[in-house]
């Protein structure tokens, strides 16, 4: 300190002393007015300049130690957010946040930062470029231009992996025929099924709409394909008999698709006489047999109505026949001294509803069918050769097959061997392979045909134990005979 400085200081001390008697009072030093407050330190730094919707952003802040921070953001479109924090002992703090995934507008997000410490405050404003969420990608296309109604419709969908979406199919009139939810697989492929309820009678243009939803909203794409009508389900209905007598069997033959469900109604004007249901076999055939038990004074026209269904397909058919008053049966024209009409009471104490009587004697070779004891059908037949006779006894029809392939139980080289032989109708009446069946290889039937004979160029010997009938007679027997029918061989 210079000499002048020391003098001024001494004067100042003296000036602060007041003499009061013998005491010295030290007065307070004069007031010194502080200079204007120094602004708070505030240095924010954005770590990125642009962020996509759903991305992360950060703001590094350098300010006084233990200062209180408030960061406010306003996104394009008006969405806002606010975050708070406190700097550490070195005055550092980092704000980190996620830009809304559903941001619908691109632009600059406004940032405002406030720092407070010891009653002092500082502010900073800035901006962050943000980009709205992109709509999810979506491409759809039918796998073919045309589909047959009721079959699988393929729609190729290309979108985000495993993204869920909705689909809707509409007709030209705007009616929704299919809708649902699905999720894209790794290839983006999905198969839609047309419901059974929409089967157009003519080609129709169908619109398929697929909608996938993402953070920015939904995206819909549409495509079109042609839906073709289904081919009609085949169905034919026929009756074996040209005219049917009351109380006698009526046989209806139905031909449709294999394994089709069939329902049948027999009616006389508005009166239902019989009903039946069943399923066609592997060849699409089904046979219905019943007896029409009613009294008629004169012949009347009756009709048969059939409904068939197979999966989603439906078909209807009908036919008519002449229903005549009942008849006592037919005359036994095959009866002879060597083959008289059988006396059923000799075999039964109670005559069955239906019974087939077969005379396997060489002088007989006949078959007679009885309905409630009344002869309704008779045929010449061929039975087993003497070495392999048709066994006498009372049996029942155990099973029915159509068609059926006969396989020889004897090996090749055996005198009884025969090659595999197809029959149209076969009814098993005894275990061991004893059937009543038609024989396309045989032309002659009747007395003596179970023995070697020269009159038949096709099969001049008897059977291996079965009973052979001509084809047309076998058709009648097949339709008339239910499983369980009694068979008597004598």
**How far does Cα 447 stand from its chain's mean position?**
59
DSSP string, 117-165: ETTEEEEEEEEEEEEPPPPPP-EEEESSSEEETTSEEEEEEE-STT-EE
- Considering the domain architecture, whether residues 222 and 296 belong to the same structural domain is answered as no
Give pLDDT, residue 33. 42
Do 206 and 266 fall into the same domain? Answer: no
* Shared domain check, 147 and 122: no
Q: Of 267, 290, 324, which residue constitutes the final position of a domain?
A: 324
Question: Is there a contact between 94 and 83 (Cβ–Cβ < 8 Å)?
Answer: no
* Residues 366 and 456 grouped into a single domain: yes
> According to the model, what pLDDT value does residue 19 have?
35
User: Same domain, yes or no, for 271 and 246?
Assistant: yes
**Would the pTM of this model clear 0.95, i.e. be above it?**
no
Q: Residue 43: in which H helix or E strand, if any? A: strand 43-46
pLDDT for 196 equals 65
**Same domain assignment for residues 280 and 183:** no
Secondary structure class of 418 (helix, strand, coil): coil
At 312, which CATH number? 2.60.40.2550
- Domain end position, chosen among 191, 213, 228: 228
* Domain assignment present for 415: yes
* Residue 445 belongs to some domain of the structure: yes
Residues 269 and 161 in one domain: no
Number of domains within the chain: 4
Predicted pLDDT of residue 18: 37
* CATH code at position 65: 2.60.40.1930
Of the three residues 105, 131, 157, the one that is the final residue of a domain is 131
What distance in Å separates the CA atoms of residue 174 and residue 308, rounded to the nearest whole number?
A: 31
Q: What is the pLDDT of residues 112-160, one digit of tens each?
A: 999 999 999 999 999 999 998 887 889 999 999 999 998 888 899 999 8
253 and 377, same domain (yes or no): no
Residue 168 bridge partners (DSSP): 179, 209
Does some domain include residue 426? yes
Task: Give me the pLDDT at residue 12, please.
Answer: 40
Q: Which two tokens stand for residue 234?
A: 């085949």
Ranges of residues in the chain whose predicted pLDDT is under 70: 1-38, 196, 242, 327-328
Q: What is the pLDDT of residue 38?
A: 65
pLDDT of the residue at 34? 40
CA 14 to chain CA mean position, Å? 113
Q: How far apart are CA 88 and CA 61, in angstroms?
A: 11
On whether residue 35 sits in a domain, the answer given is no
> Are residues 105 and 169 located together in one domain of the fold?
no
What would the pLDDT profile of 44-94 be if each residue is shown by its tens digit? 999 999 999 989 999 999 999 999 999 999 999 999 999 999 999 999 999
Looking at the fold, whether 210 and 270 belong to one and the same domain comes out as: no
Residue 423 covered by a domain = yes
Give domain status of residue 27, yes or no: no
Residue 14: its pLDDT value, please?
Answer: 35
CA dihedral 477, 483, 486, 490 (to 10 degrees): 60
In a domain, 33, yes or no: no
Residue 333 lies in a domain: no
DSSP secondary structure letters along 446-479: STTTTS--SS-SS--S-BSS-EEE-HHHHHHHHH
Domain containing residue 254: 235-324
**Residue 294 is encoded by which pair of tokens?**
């009613």
Nearest to 449 by CA among 434, 421, 468, 430: 468
């Amino acid at each position: 300190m210079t000499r002048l400085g020391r003098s001024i200081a001494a004067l100042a001390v003296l000036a602060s002393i007041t003499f009061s008697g013998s005491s010295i009072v030290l007065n307070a030093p004069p007031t010194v007015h502080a200079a204007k407050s120094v602004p708070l330190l505030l240095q924010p730094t954005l770590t990125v300049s642009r962020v996509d919707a759903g991305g992360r952003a950060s703001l590094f802040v350098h300010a006084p130690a233990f200062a209180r921070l408030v960061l406010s953001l306003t996104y394009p479109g008006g969405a806002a957010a606010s975050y708070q924090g406190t700097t550490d002992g070195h005055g550092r703090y980092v704000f980190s946040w996620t830009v809304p995934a559903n941001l619908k507008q691109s632009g600059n997000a406004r940032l405002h930062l406030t720092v407070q410490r010891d009653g002092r405050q500082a502010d900073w404003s800035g901006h962050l470029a943000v980009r709205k969420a992109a709509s999810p990608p979506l491409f759809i296309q039918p796998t073919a231009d045309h589909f047959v109604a009721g079959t699988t419709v393929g729609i190729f969908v290309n979108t985000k992996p495993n993204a869920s979406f909705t689909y809707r199919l509409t007709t030209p009139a705007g009616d929704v025929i299919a809708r649902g939810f699905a999720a894209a697989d790794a290839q983006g492929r999905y198969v839609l099924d047309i419901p059974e309820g929409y089967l157009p009678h003519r080609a129709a243009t169908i619109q398929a709409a697929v909608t996938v939803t993402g953070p920015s909203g939904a995206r819909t794409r549409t495509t079109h394909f042609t839906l073709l009508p289904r081919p009609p389900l085949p169905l034919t209905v026929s009756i074996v008999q040209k005219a049917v007598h009351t109380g006698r069997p009526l046989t209806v033959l139905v031909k449709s698709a294999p394994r089709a469900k069939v329902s049948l109604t027999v009616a006389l004007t508005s009166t239902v006489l019989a009903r039946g249901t069943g399923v066609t076999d592997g060849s699409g055939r089904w046979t219905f047999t019943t007896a029409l038990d009613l009294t008629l004074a004169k012949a009347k026209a009756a009709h048969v109505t059939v409904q068939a269904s197979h999966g989603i397909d439906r078909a209807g058919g009908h036919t008519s026949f002449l229903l005549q008053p009942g008849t006592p049966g037919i005359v036994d024209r095959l009866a002879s001294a060597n083959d008289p009409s059988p006396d059923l009471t000799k075999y039964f104490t109670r005559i069955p509803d239906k019974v087939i009587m077969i005379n396997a004697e060489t002088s007989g070779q006949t078959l007679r069918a009885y309905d409630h004891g009344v002869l309704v059908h008779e045929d010449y037949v061929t039975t087993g050769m003497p070495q392999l006779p048709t066994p006498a006894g009372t049996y029942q029809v155990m099973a029915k097959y159509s068609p059926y392939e006969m396989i020889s139980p004897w090996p090749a080289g055996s005198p009884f061997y025969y090659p595999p032989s197809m029959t149209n109708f076969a009814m098993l009446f005894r275990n061991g392979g004893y059937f009543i069946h038609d024989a396309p290889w045989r032309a002659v039937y009747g007395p003596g045909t179970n023995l070697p004979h020269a009159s038949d160029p096709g099969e001049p010997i008897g059977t291996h134990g079965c009973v052979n009938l001509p084809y047309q007679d076998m058709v009648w027997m097949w339709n008339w005979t239910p499983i369980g029918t009694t068979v008597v061989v004598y």
